[in-house]
C-alpha cells in the first residue's frame, strides 16, 4: 500500500489495541512523517527522519513499538534516547498513551531524579525505556538495565545529542544492544556528524524528509484565485461574504498594507484588526486576546507578527499577498488545521505574483486548486467553493 494513499491511522495495518490508544489521543489523520515512517518501520526497515519537534514523530515510532514488542516478556525491548530530561518525560508520556491498551510498560529515566525509584521500576519489568544517555549508562554500569533483548532503538533529536557531546555515550549504549535490532533516527538537521552515526548504525535506511510547516497541509484544503491587483479587495469581500468563517487570519506583506486593509474591512462592518511589528507588547496582547475570545473574527497580520501565534479554532487563512518566500507560505497556512482539524487556505494571486506562486505550487505535494472569483463586471454569483 503506498504511503501517499494513507490518510488516517485506520488505513494502517495495525491492531485494534494500538489504534484505540491513538484515537483516544484525538489523532485521526496522519501527519506526513507518520504516513511515511510507520509503514517502513512496521516492515522492519531502519529509518532516518529529518523532522523537528511537533511533527508527530513520537507516534511515528510509538505505533510500530506497540505492534512489535511483546508485553508478555518482562525485558526491555524498546529504547528511545533523547537529549534532555524534559524530552524524556514528554516522549515517555506520549508513548504511554499510545501503548495504553497493549499492556506494554514505558519508563522514563534521567538524571536529577532519585535513581532508586527508576531501578525499582526497571526491576518490575518495563518493555520500553526512554532516557538521557548519562542515566542510561549509569543504569547499565549498575547492571540493572539489560539491553540484550532490544528490538527497536530510536535516537531522537540526534543533532542535539551530538551537539551536547553525547557521541561516545551513544556508541557505548548502542554497543550493548543486539546487532539485528531495528534503528530509527530523528534529527532536525542532518549534517556530517549525524550522517556518520547513521552510516555506522543504520542498515539501508529509508530517508524521510518532513519540514515542520508541511504538517498541516495534509488536512487542509488549499485554493487560489487569480485576480487583478485592483480587484483584490473586492474579491476578498466576496470570499468573506460567501464563506462561513469562524476565525481567519489575513496575511499581508507589509505593515502599511495590513493597517490599510484592516481599516478598509472595518469600514465595511467587519470585526477586523491589524497586527504587525509596530505594535507594543500590550497592544499586541490586547488584539490577540480579542481574537482568541472571538471578539474579533479577522486578524490582518504580517508574517513577523504571526510568529508563534497558536490560537485554537482558526478555520481560514487568506493570503492577501503572495509571500516572496515559499517556506513562508507553508508557515502561514500551517496556522490552521492543527491537531488534525480541517482548515482552508485561500491565496489571492495578482498577475504580477504568478511566478512567485508557481514556485510555491512546485514545492508542495498537496494540491492547490484554482477557483474563479467573479470580476466587477460579472453580476453572476460565484459558486461557494469553500
Predicted confidence band of residue 383 (pLDDT cuts 50, 70, 90):
very low
What is residue 58's predicted lDDT score, i.e. its pLDDT?
Answer: 77
Distance separating alpha carbons of residues 48 and 358, to the nearest angstrom: 30
Q: Which of 266-270, 276-280, 319-323 has the lowest mean pLDDT?
A: 276-280
Q: Sheet containing 47-50: which strands, arranged edge to edge?
A: 106-109, 128-131, 78-81, 152-155, 182-187, 47-50, 206-209
For residue 167, what are the contacts with CB-CB under 8 A and spacing of at least 6? 161, 193, 197
For 51-68, what is each residue's pLDDT tens digit?
A: 766 556 777 888 889 889
Distance separating alpha carbons of residues 55 and 210, to the nearest angstrom: 8
Helix or strand or coil: residue 61?
helix
Take residue 352 and report the three cell numbers written for it.
504580477
- Do the first three CATH levels of 3-210 and 214-370 match, i.e. the same topology? yes
Span 124-153, mean pLDDT? 95
- Per DSSP, which regions of 2-105 are E strands? 47-50, 78-81
Torsion of the alpha carbons at 36, 38, 41 and 46, rounded to the nearest 10: 40
Q: Where do the domains of the chain lie? A: 3-210, 214-370
CATH 3.30.420.40 fits 214-370, yes or no: no
Cβ-contact 262, 299 below 8 angstroms: no
Ramachandran bin of 88, using left for φ above 0, alpha for ψ from -120 to 50, beta for the remaining angles? alpha
What is residue 237's predicted lDDT score, i.e. its pLDDT?
Answer: 93
What is residue 230's predicted lDDT score, i.e. its pLDDT?
Answer: 92
pLDDT of 381 above 60:
no
What is residue 82's predicted lDDT score, i.e. its pLDDT?
Answer: 94
pLDDT of 379 above 50:
no
For 280-311, what is each residue's pLDDT tens digit?
A: 888 988 999 999 888 999 999 998 777 667 67
Handedness of CA 352, 348, 369, 54 (dihedral sign): positive
Distance separating alpha carbons of residues 110 and 237, to the nearest angstrom: 55
Helix or strand or coil: residue 248?
strand
Q: What angle do CA 331, 190, 309 make, to 5 degrees?
A: 20
Q: What angle do CA 88, 109, 70 make, to 5 degrees?
A: 90
Higher pLDDT, residue 356 or 31: 356
Predicted confidence band of residue 4 (pLDDT cuts 50, 70, 90):
very low
Span 12-18, mean pLDDT? 81
For 81-114, what is each residue's pLDDT tens digit?
A: 999 998 898 889 888 888 888 899 999 999 988 8
Predicted confidence band of residue 375 (pLDDT cuts 50, 70, 90):
very low
Q: What is the mean pLDDT of the chain?
A: 84
- Give the predicted TM-score (pTM) of the model: 0.56
Q: Which CATH class is domain 3-210?
A: alpha beta
Span 155-177, mean pLDDT? 93
What stretch of H or E contains 153?
Answer: strand 152-155
Distance separating alpha carbons of residues 157 and 234, to the nearest angstrom: 47
Amino acid at each position: 500500500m503506498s504511503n501517499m494513499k494513507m490518510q488516517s491511522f485506520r488505513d494502517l495495518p495495525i491492531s485494534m489495541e494500538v489504534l484505540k490508544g491513538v484515537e483516544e489521543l484525538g489523532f485521526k489523520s496522519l501527519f506526513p512523517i507518520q504516513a511515511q515512517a510507520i509503514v517502513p518501520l512496521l516492515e522492519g526497515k531502519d529509518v532516518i527522519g529529518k523532522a523537528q519537534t511537533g511533527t508527530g514523530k513520537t507516534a511515528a515510532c510509538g505505533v510500530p513499538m506497540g505492534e512489535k514488542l511483546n508485553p508478555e516478556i518482562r525485558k526491555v525491548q524498546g529504547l528511545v534516547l533523547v537529549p534532555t530530561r524534559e524530552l524524556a518525560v514528554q516522549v515517555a508520556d506520549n508513548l504511554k498513551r499510545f501503548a495504553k491498551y497493549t499492556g506494554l510498560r514505558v519508563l522514563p529515566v534521567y538524571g536529577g531524579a532519585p535513581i532508586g525509584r527508576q531501578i525499582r521500576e526497571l526491576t518490575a519489568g518495563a518493555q520500553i525505556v526512554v532516557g538521557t544517555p548519562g542515566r542510561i549508562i549509569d543504569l547499565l554500569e549498575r547492571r540493572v538495565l539489560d539491553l540484550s533483548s532490544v528490538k527497536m532503538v530510536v535516537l531522537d533529536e540526534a543533532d542535539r545529542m551530538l551537539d551536547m557531546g553525547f557521541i561516545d555515550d551513544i556508541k557505548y549504549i548502542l554497543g550493548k544492544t543486539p546487532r539485528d535490532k531495528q534503528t530509527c533516527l530523528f534529527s532536525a538537521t542532518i549534517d556530517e556528524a549525524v550522517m556518520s552515526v547513521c552510516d555506522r548504525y543504520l542498515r539501508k535506511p529509508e530517508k524521510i524528509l518532513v519540514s515542520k510547516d508541511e504538517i498541516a497541509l495534509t488536512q487542509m484544503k488549499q485554493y487560489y484565485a487569480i485576480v487583478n491587483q485592483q480587484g483584490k479587495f473586492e474579491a476578498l469581500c466576496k470570499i468573506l461574504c460567501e464563506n462561513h468563517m469562524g476565525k481567519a487570519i489575513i496575511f499581508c506583506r507589509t505593515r502599511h498594507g495590513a493597517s490599510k486593509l484592516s481599516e478598509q474591512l472595518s469600514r465595511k462592518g467587519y470585526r477586523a484588526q491589524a497586527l504587525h511589528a509596530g505594535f507594543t507588547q500590550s497592544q499586541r496582547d490586547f488584539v490577540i486576546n480579542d481574537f482568541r475570545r472571538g471578539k474579533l473574527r479577522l486578524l490582518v497580520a504580517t508574517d513577523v507578527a504571526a510568529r508563534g501565534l497558536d490560537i485554537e479554532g482558526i478555520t481560514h487563512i487568506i493570503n492577501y499577498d503572495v509571500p516572496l518566500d515559499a517556506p513562508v507560505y507553508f508557515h502561514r497556512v500551517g496556522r490552521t488545521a492543527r491537531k488534525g482539524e480541517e482548515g482552508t487556505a485561500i491565496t489571492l494571486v495578482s498577475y504580477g505574483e504568478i511566478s512567485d506562486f508557481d514556485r510555491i505550487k512546485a514545492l508542495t505535494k498537496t494540491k492547490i486548486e484554482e477557483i474563479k472569483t467573479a470580476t466587477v463586471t460579472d453580476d453572476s454569483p460565484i459558486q461557494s467553493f469553500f
